Every structure is written in C-alpha cells, then in structure tokens.
Amino acid sequence: MIKTKLPSDNMNHAEDFFKLIRHPLKFRFFLFTKLPAAFFSGVRVREVNEEKCRVTIPYKWFTQNPFRSTYFASMSMAAEMSTGVLAMAHIYKRNPPVSMLVIKMEASYFKKAADKTSFLCLDGEKIKTAVEEAIQKNESVSVTAKSTGTNRAGEVVAEFYITWSFKAKNK
C-alpha cells in the first residue's frame, strides 16, 4: 500500500527544522541575514529537541554593559531565542501556516552575569500544545514560556518569561 501525503497533513516537521538549526553554517547564515545582533553577539543554540532548547551568550565586549556584566538586552535576546527556536520548530511547514509573535516579556535578575550565560527553556510541549490549539480553534492562543539563565558555576543569573501568541493564517 502506498501512502500519499495530503496537503492538509500536519506532519511533525520539527526534526527537519532542528536539522537546519544544528547545521553550523546554515544557522549562522540565518543569524547573519535575519538576526544580525544575535550573530555578532555570539548567541549559539547548544542543544535542542522538541521539549527543550539551550542557548548561550558569551560575556564579551559586544555584549557587556559599563558595569562589567552582560547587558540585559543581550541576555533577553538569548532567552527569547531559547523559547523562539521551540516555537519556530512547532510551526515549521505547518498547514495551515501559523504566525507567531512575542506579546510580553518579564525578567528577574539574581546575579551578575560576568561569564558565558546559558539559557534553558523546557516548555517545548506547552508551546506545541498552544500551536495545535491555535490551529484547532482558528484563533489566537498565547503561551508563556520560561527561560532560566545560569552561569558556568550553575548559579541562576536570571529568569525570563516570554509570552508568545500563535494564530493560524487564513489561506
């Protein structure tokens, strides 16, 4: 029996997206052309699957503030990417297409970020559920994802809560 793919099939294309993210040249080209601030800051995706994403931002001249720590905007960029990569994976090649937008961001800072900071988001399943719900209901659905930033010693530097809105696009 030959199986054919119907255009309305909502196959999970997340792994295809992750292959692009894991490819060092393709991902850096994407950053350079679409997110140049992340490219020049040295933001890197270190680990990614359907449930979690870990992103790092170095402490260097381009990311520092006058107080010899990582500038909050640089940390925000890395935290958002840790949630955004998961969101992009779950909307990649969807039928119908799904739009995504950050609608809110909250942050708490606990410790000076004076070395490489690693941001981990474990909310991939929550994001996937929100995307599915947006498609099912054909209306905007919001979800808040948490990204925790830690330093090399494993100490929590900051926590970010990024709220994403998803909406299926009408064809």
Q: Is residue 46 part of a domain?
A: yes
pTM given for the model: 0.88
Tens digit of each residue's pLDDT, the chain (171 residues): 333 333 334 456 888 888 888 888 988 998 899 989 999 999 999 999 999 999 999 999 999 999 999 999 999 999 999 999 999 999 999 889 999 999 999 999 999 999 999 999 999 999 999 999 999 999 999 999 999 999 999 999 999 999 999 999 876
CA 168 to chain centre: 19
Q: How many CA atoms lie within 13 A of 161 on its CB side?
A: 7
The domain spanning residue 120 has which CATH number?
Answer: 3.10.129.10
Domain carrying residue 160: 14-168
Q: How many domains does the chain have?
A: 1
